Structure 1
Amino acid sequence: MLRISGFFTALVIFVGASLSPAAAEDKTITVFAAASMKNALDEIDAAYTAKTGVKFSVSYAASSVLARQIEQGAPADVFVSADTDWMDYAISRKTINESSRVNLLGNSIVLIAPKDSRIDNVTITQGFDLAKLAGDGRIATGDVKSVPAGKCAKAALEKLGAWQAAEPKFAMAESVRAALTLVARGEANLGIVYATDAKVEPGVKIVGTFPAESHPAIVYPVAANMTAKDGTSGYLTFLRSSAAKTILEKYGFKFLVSPTI
């Protein structure tokens, strides 16, 4: 009897050890999120982990890069895009569960300069001369062909009549956070980023805000991947909660939905 008991004890220990990595994996949610979400989402994820024990693996990059990685089979559970176009793209490729989609956040774009720049208090209106303002330096933003912040910047400048003259001075970055870094390091005289990005970077200052009517509305949709883990819906619910709203608004985002809890 003692031998049998010892055998079953060993078996239980063996089975438990063999199952523990899978159990741990089940409690990890993989999130692909727009680079501009990093600071706020890191704090939200920490709050969710403290509440539930669920851990996170998060990849931050341009929404265009993330949407294409998901299309190619990257194992994401959640996609947070910085514009509706790339979420629409992912849905069209049948990689995102459309029924889980929520247009969660809003943002605005601003003109920034290095903290010690002499440029200050720029009035951004029709016909303002961005090229002249930049002088011999560069203007940083996300790639205007793919990065949401860059696309928005170009749209605004075209509407305001400033794009054609300023275009040769643009340094196109792979993400809005990369553009922010160029300005913070003084490698660009000016930059166009989200207001939320400027808020978290001490090396830059906001010198002007683009009128909301100068560009399409900035909307951040969030949704689950078609192959998302079972626990993903709880996290999406938390993103719509009052607790998440408080964190997101602290970082300057506009909460576009009514809190769920």
Structure 2
Amino acid sequence: MRLSVLRLLAGLAVPVLSLAPAHAEEVVVFAAASMKTALDDFAAKWETETGNTVTISYAGSSQLARQIMQGAPADIFISANSGWMDEVEKSGLVKDGRRRDLLGNSLVLIAHGRDAGQVDIAGDFDLAGLLGEGKLAMALVDSVPAGQYGKAALEALGIWGQVAPSVAQADNVRAALRLVSVGEAPYGIVYATDAAADENVTIAGTFPENTHPPIIYPAALLRGADAAADEAFYQALSGEAARASFEAQGFRMLD
């Protein structure tokens, strides 16, 4: 009888083992540095739900775009402006029809500390006087989207020439945020979502939308993405879980 029971259990073991989940897949995402807090939050939730792994490289959109065009193995690219996504698409690296505008953001002036005063950002805004001998932290103004938007806003206000000598340029917007956070620069220009991620800065003012191009984050599924998990994560970026993570950080969902 014991032998018969053991044989029965052995026979049942095969179908039980066949129900084990398939091997987990890895999704490689290249994303603008300003997305780190929100995207990390969503990716962690998605990994828990699916059992797959998301590996994210954060940097300035220009740097990421160049890496992709030079052959870096990425499945999904999320840029902080359309121009760099355009370059990747022109290189034939975006899957047909697999690009969409995902998020919107705002541009703000931040100050070191939690009790900094508020300023009115308008045509007579004396930013140079506000800075005094201090530096204005910005992402690279000729290549990184946050820096490009910031320079455009200051030009529109007619004050770029006055403050340009005081600008401390950083490789990406999170690096500019850190300069203000640790007090190395009294003021900086970043996205509203970056300011929300750091307890050591205050939003001193918001730049009017008509002073800079619309801040749009396009997302794309790249040619090298051939796993089911790549498509699934790309689609999930527009889902409710992603919406909760992005909107909690101050992004606007566009799709």
- Report the alpha carbon displacement of residue 96 of structure 1 after superposing the two structures with TM: 1.9
Aligned match of 1:184: 181
What secondary structure, in the 3-state scheme, does the structure 2 residue paired with 1:97 have? strand
Choose the corresponding residue for 2:137, options 134, 137, 140.
140
Deviation string, structure 1 residues 24-74 (Cα, Å, up to 9, x no partner) = 5xx000000000000100111111111111101110000000000001110
Contact 1:91 1:98 in 2 (8 A): no
Deviation string, structure 1 residues 142-170 (Cα, Å, up to 9, x no partner) = 00100000000000010011111000000
- Report the alpha carbon displacement of residue 98 of structure 1 after superposing the two structures with TM: 4.4
What secondary structure, in the 3-state scheme, does the structure 2 residue paired with 1:237 have? helix
Choose the corresponding residue for 1:36, options 31, 34, 37.
34
| TM superposition score normalised by structure 2 | 0.89
Aligned match of 2:190: 193
Aligned match of 2:218: 221
Matched, 1:250 2:244: no
User: How many residues in Structure 1 have an aligned counterpart in Structure 2?
Assistant: 233
Contact 2:114 2:199 in 1 (8 A): no
Aligned match of 1:129: 126
Which runs of at least 4 in structure 1 moved beyond 6 Å after TM superposition? none
Q: CA RMSD in A?
A: 1.3
What secondary structure, in the 3-state scheme, does the structure 2 residue paired with 1:76 have? coil
Structure 2 counterpart of 1:114, one-letter code:
H
Q: 1:243 to 1:116 in 2, by over 3 A?
A: closer
Question: Distance between the aligned counterparts of 1:116 and 1:28, measured in 2?
Answer: 39
| TM superposition score normalised by structure 1 | 0.87
What secondary structure, in the 3-state scheme, does the structure 2 residue paired with 1:146 have? coil
Q: 1:155 to 1:98 in 2, by over 3 A?
A: farther
The share of aligned pairs that are identical, in percent, is: 48
- Report the alpha carbon displacement of residue 116 of structure 1 after superposing the two structures with TM: 5.6
Question: Distance between the aligned counterparts of 1:40 and 1:49, measured in 2?
Answer: 14
Question: Distance between the aligned counterparts of 2:56 and 2:232, measured in 1?
Answer: 17
Q: 1:55 to 1:186 in 2, by over 3 A?
A: same
Unaligned runs of 5+ in 1: 1-22
Aligned match of 1:53: 51
Question: Distance between the aligned counterparts of 1:142 and 1:200, measured in 2?
Answer: 17
Aligned match of 1:85: 83
Question: Distance between the aligned counterparts of 1:216 and 1:72, measured in 2?
Answer: 28
Contact 2:135 2:166 in 1 (8 A): yes
Matched, 1:234 2:232: yes
Unaligned runs of 5+ in 2: 1-22
